[in-house]
Amino acid sequence: MSEAIPLAGKGPAPEKSRTDSLPASLSNEYQDRLLLEAMKDWEINQAVLEPMSRTGPWFWVIVAVLAAIVAWGLYAWGYQIYWGFGVAGINRPVYWGFYIATFIFWVGISHAGTMISAVLRIFKVDWRRPITRGAEAMTAFALMMAGLFPLIHLGRVWKFYWMIPYPNNRFMWPNFQSPLMWDMIAIFTYLIGSSLYLYLAMIPDMAMARDNTVRWRYKLYRLMALGWRGTEAEWHKLHRALNIFSIIIIPVFLSVHSIVSWDFAVTLQPRWHSTIFAPYFVIGAIYSGLAALAAILVLVRWGMKLQNFLRMEHFNALGKVVMVAGLGWLYFWFAGLIVEWYGNEPVVMELLHEEFIGSLAPLFYLQMTCNVLPIFFLMFKKVRTTPVLLLTFAIMINIGMFIERVLIVIGDLQRNYLPFNWGTYRPTWVEISIVAMTFAGFSLLYILFSRIFPYVPVWEIKEGRLRYTLRRIGRLLIPTAAEIE
Amino acid sequence: MGKTVMLMGLFHESTDTADAIDRLYEMKIPEEDILVMTGVPYPEQALGRHSEWQRMPVIVLVGALTGFLLGVFLAVGTPTLYPLTVGGRPIITGPPAAVIIFVFTMMATIVSTFLGVLWEMGFPSFENKYYHRLVTSGHLAVLVECLESQVDDIHTIMEAHNGHHIQSAERMAL
Amino acid sequence: MKEEKLFAENSPISSNRRWGMVIDLDRCTGCQACVVACHAENNVPVVGEAEAAYGRWMHWIHIERYWEGEYPNIKARFMPVLCQQCDEAPCEPVCPVFATYHTDEGLNAQIYNRCIGTRYCGSACPYKVRTFNWFDPEFPEPLKEQLNPNVTVRTRGIMEKCTFCIQRIRQVEEGAKMADRVLEDGEIQPACAQSCPPGAIVFGNLEDEDSLASKLASSRRSFRLLDELGTGPAVIYLKGGETNV
C-alpha cells in the first residue's frame, strides 16, 4: 500500500548518529531522552503510518459494537423527541438530570487537549510532542459529544435554532443575559478553536502522509494538505499561527468551563450559588481531562503498538500533572465545603447532610475514593510508569469526576428552600442509552481518527529531535535542549 | 536574460545546505530565486535566509476588532432594538455584556488567525508545483531558478556539499 | 369604532398597575378549591397518580402542607403557593429566548410559543412553581368539553406557570377601556380567588393605596415567602396568631 519503502531504501545515506561515539551503556540510557535519536526520518514516517492500516478483526468488532450502541442511542433520542421529555427521568424539582451531568463531564474532558497542546507549547515542554495530537483530537470529539447535550435536553429540540443570534420575524433577538447563551457561544467558539488548532498542526503531517500513501488515503491527505511543500515561509507562518492560537485558546478554555459553572452558580439554588464554582469546575475539568488522556494514551499505545513514541517518560510526566491537578481539585473542593459548612444555613446543611450521611452518601464516598486515592498512588513513579496501573487510576478518576457532576446537578437539585418541593430522581433507560451513546460515539470517532490520521505528530517529534544534543559535564554525558522554536 | 531553468538538489544535512546556499549567494543568485523545502521546521535563518514581514498580526487584530464590535452589537445593541425587561434589571447589563463581548472577540480572533495563515500561505493550492517527495522523508530540497548557463556551476556547488538527486525540477501534483 | 381604537393603541397597559395577591393563611382551610378552579380555568392537564407521585404534577397553584409539633400536639399548616410574580424574578434573565419576561403591570409573563424547553427557569426558581409539559397534554372525556377557549392548550416540551389569570385581567381591562371607565378594585377575579370558599385570596393593584389588597398587604400580619432572597414577590401572605386547623 505504501510506496515509500522502496524510495526510502535507496534514498538517504546513513547519517552519522550523534550517539555513535558513546559507550554502549550510556548510549542506551540516553536514547530515551534524545527522543528517537536512532530512528531516521523515513523510519519515523513508516512507524507512524504503518499502524494506521493495521485493522484486524477485533478492530472491526469494536467498531461494530460502538456503532450499534450509537444507533441504539439515536433510537432512544428519537423516542424521547416523539413521546416527550417525560420518558426521561427528570421531574420537578430535578429539572436537570443525567444529561446535564454528562454534558459537564464531556466539557471537562475536552479541557485536557488545550492544556497539553497550548499551555505546554507556550512553556516549550518537550514531553508534550508525541501526545499533542491525541489530546487535541480528544478535545474536539469530547466537545462534539458535549455539544449534543444542550440539544438533547431541550424540550422542543426542533426549535433549537431560536437560540442562534439572529432576529426572528418580529425582530426579536435572543437574550444575551442568559448563561445558556454564553454557554452555547463559548462551546461553539471552543469547538471551532480546537478543531482548527488540531487541523492546523496536522497540515505538515498530511503532506507527509500524502507523499507516502496511495489510493483513497492519498486523495484524502492531498486534499487536507492543501498543497503544503514545507518551504521556509510555510513553516515560519505555521509556527506564527500556532503560537497565536496557543495564546488565544487558553483564555477560551478557561472561560468555557467557567461559563458552564455559571449556568449553575448564577441561580439561587443552595450550594450552586457559589463564587468558587468557576475555578472549581476548571480545575476539575483539567483533572478529569488529563486522567482521561492518560487512559486513552495507554489504550492507543497498546492497540496501535506505538511503544516507540509513547514512552514511559511521557506517562511519568503526564501522571505528575494529573496528580497536581488532583491536589488542586481537592483544595478547591475543600475551600468550598468549609465555607458552606461553617455558614450553617439550614438548606445547605440539609444538602451536606444528604451527601455525608443521607441517601447520597454511597455515591459521595465512592466519588471521594475515586478522586482522592489516585492522587496518593500517582506520587509513586512506579505507578505512573506502569501502564496498567496508570490506566486503572485514570479510569477511577473519571468515574469519580462523573459522579461528582451527578452529585452537583442532581444531588443539589433534590433539595431547595421549601421542603414541600423536595424530590428524588431516577434515570430511565432513555437517559442511560443516550449517555451511553455519547461514550460510544466518542470512542468510535476517536478510533476512526486514529486509523485515518497520523496519531503521533511526526513533524513535532522531528523538530524535538533537532533540539537535543549531548553535553559532557565532568564524567557524565547529559542531554541538553537547544533554545529553538 | 536567457532562458531560465529550475534546478533542484536534495541534501541530507542542514549545515551542508546552508553552506551550499551561501555559495549560491556568492554566484549572485538573488534570494527570491532560491526556495528551500524541509520536512522539519528549522529555526529561522538557520539556512542563511532572511525571513519576510507578515501580514498575519494585522489580520488577527482586524479579526479581533470585528469580533469585539459584533459582541458589542449583540450584547448592547440588540437589547435596545427590542427592549424586554427581565429580572428587574436594566435593559443593558454590564457583566453579561462582558462575557458576550469576550467570547465573540475570541471567536473572531481564532477564525481570523486560521483564515489569515491560509491566506498568507496561499492555501489551498492544488496546482502542480516543484516538489520532491523525499522532502518529508528527511531531505532538504533546494530549488534554484537560474539561467541555463549557470546550471553547471550550481550542479558543481551542490555536489560539493553532498547534494544528490540533482536534476531539473519537475512540477508534480500536490 | 371602539375596537379599532383599542387595536390602534395596541396596548391597554399602563404602568400604574402592579398586580398582586394577598393570601390570608389564617383563613385558608387547605380545601384545594383554588387548585381545581385553576386547572379548569387555565386548561392545566392532569397527569395521573403515578406521574404526580414522581413529582410531575402540573398545578399552577398548589397547597403546601406542613406538619408542626410532635404528636399529639400536632398541627397542619396549609400554604397555597403559586408563581410569586417576583419583581426581580430569578427565572427571567436566565431564559435564552426571552420566553419569560416582565410586563409593565409587574407580571412575570410566560410566552409559551417562544419557549424551547431548556427548563432553566424551573431550576432557577426558588419557589419551584414552574411546571413542565412532560408529555402532550391529555384531557380525558369529558374534560375536553370544558376547555377554556380563552387559554391556549400547551404542547409538550415547554414550561408553564401561574399567569394571575392574564386572560381575565385583559378581558376586564379592555372592557373597561371600551366602556371608557376606570377599573374598579375587585373587578378582576383570578379563578383561585373567585373559588376560595373562605375568601382567603384577594387580588388587586398594589400600586393603588386604596385597594383592598394594598390595605391587607400593609397589615402587621403580612410576610412574603423567602423574602430574604430578595426576589420581591407580589404575593403577600398573612399569618397572625394561633389557628387550629
C127 lies in which domain range?
Answer: 2-238
CA of B136 vs chain C CAs: smallest distance (Å): 50
Per-residue confidence (pLDDT) for residue A259, from 0 to 100: 93
Arithmetic mean of pLDDT over chain C? 86
CA of B37 vs chain A CAs: smallest distance (Å): 4
Q: Among A151-155, A476-480, C156-160, C229-233, which stretch is predicted with the lowest mean pLDDT?
A: A476-480
Specify whether the CB–CB gap between B112 and B58 falls below 8 A: no
Contact A226 B131 (CB under 8 A): no
Structural domains of chain C, count: 1
CATH class of the domain comprising B4-50+128-172 = alpha beta
Per-residue confidence (pLDDT) for residue B64, from 0 to 100: 92
Arithmetic mean of pLDDT over chain B? 82
Q: Look at chain A and count its residues.
A: 485
Contact A419 C66 (CB under 8 A): yes
Spatial separation of the C-alpha atoms in residues C159 and C123, rounded to whole Å: 11
Contact C101 B85 (CB under 8 A): yes
What ipTM did this prediction achieve?
0.88
> Given a cut of 90, is residue C48 above it in pLDDT?
no
Spatial separation of the C-alpha atoms in residues C213 and B123, rounded to whole Å: 72
The closest CB to that of C128, out of A92, A155, A179, belongs to: A92
> Given a cut of 70, is residue A8 above it in pLDDT?
no
> Given a cut of 90, is residue A436 above it in pLDDT?
yes
SS (H, E, C) chain B: CCCEEEEEEEECCHHHHHHHHHHHHHCCCCHHHEEEECCCCCCCCCCCCCCCCCCHHHHHHHHHHHHHHHHHHHHHHHHHHCCCECCCCCCCCHHHHHHHHHHHHHHHHHHHHHHHHHHHHCCCCCCCEECCHHHHHCCEEEEEEEEHHHHHHHHHHHHHCCCEEEEECCEECC
Spatial separation of the C-alpha atoms in residues B169 and B150, rounded to whole Å: 15
Spatial separation of the C-alpha atoms in residues A261 and A196, rounded to whole Å: 25
Contact B78 A173 (CB under 8 A): yes
Per-residue confidence (pLDDT) for residue B62, from 0 to 100: 92
Q: Among A107-111, B138-142, C82-86, C186-190, which stretch is predicted with the lowest mean pLDDT?
A: B138-142
**Spatial CB neighbours of A434, under 8 Å, sequence gap ≥ 6:** A73, A76, A77, A80, A99, A152
Contact B89 A462 (CB under 8 A): no
Q: pLDDT class for A19, splitting at 50, 70, 90?
A: very low
What proportion of chain A, given as a percentage, has pLDDT over 70?
Answer: 92
Query: What residue in A sits closest to C98 (Cα-Cα)?
Result: A175
**Spatial CB neighbours of A157, under 8 Å, sequence gap ≥ 6:** A81, A151
Specify whether the CB–CB gap between A212 and A3 falls below 8 A: yes
Contact C88 B88 (CB under 8 A): yes
* More confident position, A116 or A403: A403
For A6, B53, C75, C190, C195, the CA distances from C82, given in Å and listed in that order, are 80, 67, 23, 12, 15
> Given a cut of 60, is residue A122 above it in pLDDT?
yes
Contact A86 C134 (CB under 8 A): yes
Average pLDDT of span C134-152: 88
Per-residue confidence (pLDDT) for residue A54, from 0 to 100: 78
Interface test with C, best of A82, A85, A168, A176 (most C CBs within 10 A): A85
Per-residue confidence (pLDDT) for residue C4, from 0 to 100: 39
C-alpha cell at A186: 463559548
Per-residue confidence (pLDDT) for residue B48, from 0 to 100: 63
What proportion of chain C, given as a percentage, has pLDDT over 90?
Answer: 42
Contact A248 B109 (CB under 8 A): yes
Per-residue confidence (pLDDT) for residue A260, from 0 to 100: 92
Specify whether the CB–CB gap between A398 and A288 falls below 8 A: yes
Q: List, as one string, the DSSP characters of chain C.
A: -HHHHHHHH-----TT--EEEEEETTT-----HHHHHHHHHHTPPP--HHHHHTT----SEEEEEEEESSTTS-EEEEEEEE----TT-TTTTT-TT-SEEE-TTS-EEE-GGG-----HHHHH-TT---EE--S-----TTGGGG--TTSPPP-TT-EE---S-HHHHHHHHHHHHHTT-PPPTT----HHHHH-TT--EEEEETT-TTSHHHHHHTSTTEE-TTGGG----SEEEE--S----
Average pLDDT of span B84-100: 88
Contacting partners of chain B (3+ CB pairs under 8 A): A, C
Contact A154 C156 (CB under 8 A): no
Chain B hits for C229, Cβ within 8 Å: none
Total beta-carbon pairs less than 8 A apart between chain A and chain C? 132
> Given a cut of 50, is residue C11 above it in pLDDT?
no
* Cβ burial, residue B35 (10 Å; 0-12/13-18/19+): buried
Specify whether the CB–CB gap between A259 and A186 falls below 8 A: yes
Backbone angles phi, psi at C238, to 5 degrees: -115, 130
Total beta-carbon pairs less than 8 A apart between chain B and chain C? 28
- Mapped onto helix, strand or coil, the DSSP state of residue A480 is strand
Per-residue confidence (pLDDT) for residue A6, from 0 to 100: 34
B89 touches chain C (CB under 8 A): yes
C-alpha cell at B78: 440588540
- Has residue C129 been placed in a domain? yes
Q: Structural domain boundaries of chain B?
A: 4-50+128-172, 56-121
Hey, what amino acid is at A323?
Answer: M
Q: pLDDT class for A28, splitting at 50, 70, 90?
A: low
B121 touches chain C (CB under 8 A): no
Chain C hits for B96, Cβ within 8 Å: 93
**Spatial CB neighbours of B51, under 8 Å, sequence gap ≥ 6:** A232, A236, B44, B45
Per-residue confidence (pLDDT) for residue C174, from 0 to 100: 87
Chain B hits for C92, Cβ within 8 Å: 86-87
Per-residue confidence (pLDDT) for residue A185, from 0 to 100: 92
* More confident position, B47 or A93: A93
Contact B84 C93 (CB under 8 A): no
CATH topology of domain A57-447: Formate dehydrogenase/DMSO reductase fold (1.20.1630)
Specify whether the CB–CB gap between A66 and A449 falls below 8 A: no
User: Nearest to residue B24, comparing CAs of B131, B135, B158?
Assistant: B158
CA of A158 vs chain C CAs: smallest distance (Å): 8
Contact B86 C93 (CB under 8 A): yes
Model confidence pLDDT, tens digit, residues A142-156: 999 999 999 999 989
Contacts for C13-16: CB closer than 8 Å, 24+ residues apart = C13/C103, C13/C104, C13/C105, C14/C104, C15/C104, C15/C105, C16/C207, C16/C208
CA of B121 vs chain A CAs: smallest distance (Å): 6
What proportion of chain A, given as a percentage, has pLDDT over 90?
Answer: 43
- Has residue C158 been placed in a domain? yes
* Cβ burial, residue A238 (10 Å; 0-12/13-18/19+): buried
Spatial separation of the C-alpha atoms in residues A103 and A79, rounded to whole Å: 20
Q: pLDDT class for A192, splitting at 50, 70, 90?
A: very high
B88 touches chain C (CB under 8 A): yes
Spatial separation of the C-alpha atoms in residues A92 and C134, rounded to whole Å: 10
* More confident position, A206 or B126: A206
**Residues 96-115 (A) with a CB less than 8 A from some CB of C:** 96
Contact B86 C88 (CB under 8 A): no
> Given a cut of 90, is residue A237 above it in pLDDT?
no
Per-residue confidence (pLDDT) for residue C3, from 0 to 100: 40
Arithmetic mean of pLDDT over chain A? 85
Query: What residue in C sits closest to A93 (Cα-Cα)?
Result: C128
- Mapped onto helix, strand or coil, the DSSP state of residue A411 is helix
Spatial separation of the C-alpha atoms in residues C168 and C163, rounded to whole Å: 10
Looking at mean pLDDT, say which of A29-38, A230-239, A272-281 comes out highest.
A272-281
**Spatial CB neighbours of C62, under 8 Å, sequence gap ≥ 6:** C35, C80, C81, C82, C129
Contact A420 C81 (CB under 8 A): yes
Q: pLDDT class for C14, splitting at 50, 70, 90?
A: low
Average pLDDT of span C104-110: 88
Backbone angles phi, psi at A92, to 5 degrees: -100, 120
C72 cis-preceded (ω within 30 degrees of 0): yes
Spatial separation of the C-alpha atoms in residues A428 and A418, rounded to whole Å: 26
Spatial separation of the C-alpha atoms in residues A141 and A280, rounded to whole Å: 23
- Has residue C243 been placed in a domain? no
Q: pLDDT class for C245, splitting at 50, 70, 90?
A: very low
CA of B147 vs chain A CAs: smallest distance (Å): 22
Interface test with B, best of A10, A210, A228, A484 (most B CBs within 10 A): A228
Q: Among A50-54, A450-454, C102-106, C225-229, which stretch is predicted with the lowest mean pLDDT?
A: A50-54
A151 touches chain C (CB under 8 A): no
> Given a cut of 70, is residue A3 above it in pLDDT?
no
CA of C10 vs chain A CAs: smallest distance (Å): 15
Interface test with A, best of B14, B17, B40 (most A CBs within 10 A): B40
Hey, what amino acid is at C45?
Answer: P
Q: For position C70, which CATH number holds?
A: 3.30.70.20
Per-residue confidence (pLDDT) for residue C12, from 0 to 100: 44
Interface test with B, best of C98, C120, C229 (most B CBs within 10 A): C98
Per-residue confidence (pLDDT) for residue C66, from 0 to 100: 86
Backbone angles phi, psi at B167, to 5 degrees: -160, 170
Spatial separation of the C-alpha atoms in residues B37 and A235, rounded to whole Å: 9
Chain A hits for C229, Cβ within 8 Å: 268, 417
Contacting partners of chain A (3+ CB pairs under 8 A): B, C
Model confidence pLDDT, tens digit, residues A382-399: 888 888 999 999 999 999
The closest CB to that of A86, out of C56, C66, C115, belongs to: C56
